[in-house]
Chains A and B, each alone.
Chain A
Amino acid sequence: MGISPLLFIAIPLGAAALVALLSRARERAGDVVASLASAALLALSLALVRRILDGETLSYDLASSSPLGLHLSIDGLSLLLLSIISLLTLMADLYAVSYMERYTSKPRYYVLRLLMATGLNGAVMGADLLNLYAGMEVACLSCYALVAFGMERDYLGASFRYQVFGALASLLIIVGIALVYRTAATLNLVELRGVVAQQGMSPVLLFSSVLFLTGFGIKAAYMPFHTWLPDAHSVAPTPVSALLSGIFIKVAGLYALARLFLSVFELTATLSMVLMVMGSVSLLVALLMALAQWDSKRLLAYSTISQMGYILLGLSIGTPLGILGALFHLVNHAVFKSLLFFNAGAVEAATGTRDMKELGGLNQRMPLTGATCTVASLSISGIPPFNGFWSKLLIILAAVQAGYPAFAAVAGLGSILALAVFLKLERYVFFGSLPQRLARVREAPLLMCVPMALLAALCLGIGLAFPFFIHNFLDPAKEVLSRLTLVR
Chain B
Amino acid sequence: MTAGYALCMALFLLGLYGVVTKRHLLKIAFGVFLIAGAAALFIALLGVSEGHVGSLWQALGLMVILGGLAIATVMIVTSVRLHQRCGSFDLDRIWKLRG
Contacts and interface: CB of A to CB of B under 8 A. Distances in A.
Contacts of B59: 67-68, 130
A163 B56 CA distance: 27
Contacts of A160: 25, 75, 78-79, 82
Nearest to B19: A164
A175 interface: yes
B52 interface: no
Given A130-B63, A164-B32, A175 B39 contact: yes
Nearest to B73: A141
B60 A181 contact: yes
Contact of A66 (B55, B74, B75, B97): B55
Interface stretch (A165-173, A248-256, A471-479): A165-173
B4 interface: no
Contacts, number: 101
A166 B39 CA distance: 15
B39 A171 contact: yes
A187 B43 CA distance: 15
Interface in B44-99: 46-47, 49-50, 55-60, 62-64, 67-68, 70-71, 74-75, 78-79, 81-82, 85-86, 94-95, 97-98
Contact of A163 (B39, B57, B62, B71): B71
B19 A133 contact: no
A153 interface: yes
A167 B97 contact: no
Given A153-B94, A158-B97, A164-B28, A67 B56 contact: yes
Contacts of B57: 181
Interface of B, secondary structure class, is: helix
A148 interface: yes
Interface residues of A, number: 38
A187 B55 CA distance: 13
A157 B94 contact: yes
A182 interface: yes
A154 interface: yes
B74 A141 contact: yes
A179 interface: yes
Nearest to B38: A171
Contacts of B70: 137, 141
A154 B96 CA distance: 9
A190 interface: no
A159 B78 contact: yes
Given A175-B42, A181-B60, A170 B25 contact: no
A179 B94 CA distance: 39
A177 B95 CA distance: 35
B35 A170 contact: no
Contacts of B85: 151-153, 156
A392 to B, nearest CB: 30
Nearest to A179: B46
Contacts of B50: 182
Contacts of A144: 74, 78
B93 to A, nearest CB: 10
A96 B67 CA distance: 29
A79 B67 CA distance: 27
Contacts of A182: 46, 49-50
Nearest to A156: B82
A299 to B, nearest CB: 12
A133 B55 CA distance: 17
A332 to B, nearest CB: 29
Interface in B3-41: 19, 25, 28, 32, 35-36, 39
Contacts of A141: 70-71, 74
Contacts of B64: 171, 174
Contacts of A153: 82, 85-86, 94, 97
Contact of B42 (A159, A178, A298): A178
Contacts of A179: 46
15 contacts: A67-B56, A68-B59, A137-B70, A141-B74, A152-B85, A153-B86, A154-B97, A156-B82, A159-B78, A163-B74, A167-B32, A171-B68, A174-B64, A178-B46, A182-B46
Given A153-B85, A164-B19, 7 more contacts: A144-B78, A168-B19, A171-B36, A171-B68, A175-B39, A178-B46, A231-B98
